[in-house]
Amino acid sequence: MPTPTVRPRRLRRTAAIRDLVAQTHLRVDDLVAPLFVREGIDEPQPIESLPGVMQHTATSLRSEVAALAELGVRSVVLFGVPASKDPTGSGAFDPDGIVQIALRDLRSDLGDDIVVMADLCVDEYTDHGHCGIVGADGDVDNDATLELYARAALAQAAAGAQVVAPSGMMDGQVAVIRDALDTAGFTDVAIMAYAAKFASALYGPFRDAVDVSITGGGDRKGYQQDWRNSREAQLEIDLDVAEGADIVMVKPALAYLDVIADASARLDVPMAAYHVSGEYAMIHAAAERGWIDGDAVALEHLTAIKRAGADIVLTYFTRWFAESVANGSVAS
């Protein structure tokens, strides 16, 4: 008998066949919407470098999250922009800080119908722009900073955060936060660790969104992950898992799909990836010039992150994707 001819194109002939055999599916409830809430403004403020994204008032944030929930979005992560900043970033752990107010509002509005996460760092709140206490030598003091993170975690948990997300890349941060939460009785609050957060050039629009700049022209390369090192990234991830992280995250996403894939293939904890502000802004910039189909590229990017092994994707495209699924222009 003749040898059967293998023709993979048989399974690509129509959209229905392609959907039937698709190996990766992106769903609305895979996505987390990053949201910004700013103290001291009366109406939402557009962020020029993040088209379609706003700095919300406490009131408009409640409306936005309610609308996202109606679209089937199940998770948001909050970033705060305080009216004033100081050397220790005290707004991060003030019980009446802007994020703590927003957490209480959202839990009151939606209860457990949506997962409310809080970014746990202090760079949005410090007047020097670093992610911790800056010592006399100009470097961030790792161990002194851990105390601030513990205080912020307790403030966020008391305000209703179901997940806290330490993003400062301090050594030992997960262990200190877990101990603080457990000691205070917040044993059900989960930790989503920014386990491999790279010192990337793709964060510019985010820093616009939270009004952060590092004084004196410094950078974060001394504590964020070196973007050239994949094995070191796996070590960072393993350390966070050993310290009690419930979810681990790689940030950014697209330039680090290899890191996501390697970690997801060997770990049992959920894997998150952050499709960051620069990745989002580049799509919009190219689409505005007519160089790409922005919607098609956004879908391709998000699907690639999921295909690499991410269970959870933080992305500024969350609302767009949820609306696209709702109106039938994208298949979930």
Does residue 16 lie within any of the structural domains? no
Q: Let me know the angle formed at the C-alpha of 145 by 142 and 151, rounded to the nearest 5 degrees.
A: 150
Determine, yes or no, domain membership for 216. yes
Q: Which amino acid is at 45?
A: Q
181 contact partners, CB below 8 Å, separation of at least 6: 153, 154, 157, 164, 187, 189, 191
The mean per-residue pLDDT over the stretch 130-151 comes to 86
Question: Angle 210-233-237 (CA atoms, 0-180°, nearest 5)?
Answer: 85
In a domain, 9, yes or no: no
In a domain, 20, yes or no: no
Does the model's pTM come out above 0.95? no
pLDDT for 164-187, tens place per residue? 999 888 899 999 999 999 999 999
Q: Which residue has the tokens 């609302």?
A: 319
Query: 106: which 2 tokens?
Result: 């959202």
**Least confident piece of the model among 8-17, 81-90, 125-134, 260-269:** 125-134
Does the annotation mark 221 as catalytic? no
Has residue 86 been placed in a domain?
yes
Q: Which of 85, 197, 221, 306 is catalytic?
A: 197
The answer for residues whose C-beta is within 8 angstroms of residue 63's C-beta and 6 or more apart is none
CA distance 315 to 300: 13
- Tell me whether strands 54-56 and 115-120 are parallel, antiparallel or unpaired: unpaired
Flag whether pLDDT at 80 surpasses 90.
Answer: yes
Domain count, the chain: 1
Q: Which two tokens stand for residue 11?
A: 């399974």
Which residue, among 115, 114, 116, 85, has the nearest Cα to 99 in the 3D structure? Answer: 116
Evaluate whether 315 touches 302 at the Cβ level (below 8 Å).
Answer: yes
Please give the residue that has the higher pLDDT: either 328 or 193.
Answer: 193
Position 282 confidence tier, pLDDT thresholds 50, 70, 90: very high
Catalytic (active site) residue 306: no
Mean per-residue pLDDT over the chain, rounded: 93
Give a yes or no: residue 18 inside a domain. no
Range of the domain at 322: 26-326
111 lies in a domain? yes
CATH number at residue 185: 3.20.20.70
Alpha helices in the chain (DSSP H): 15-21, 58-70, 98-110, 142-159, 173-183, 204-209, 230-243, 257-266, 277-288, 294-308, 318-326
Range from 37-46, 118-127, 210-219, 246-255 carrying the lowest mean pLDDT: 210-219
- Angle, nearest 10°, between helix axes 58-70 and 318-326? 40
- Cα-to-chain-centroid distance, residue 116: 12
Quick one: average pLDDT of 71-75?
97
N-terminal to C-terminal alpha carbon distance within the chain: 42
Residue 218, pLDDT > 70, answer no
Give the pLDDT of residue 327.
Answer: 94
Q: Is 236 inside any structural domain?
A: yes
Exposed, middle or buried: residue 318 (CB in 10 Å: 0-12, 13-18, 19+)? Answer: buried
**What are the φ/ψ torsions at residue 251 (nearest 5 degrees)?**
-145, 130
List, for residues 114-137, the tens digit of each pLDDT value. Answer: 999 999 988 888 877 777 788 877
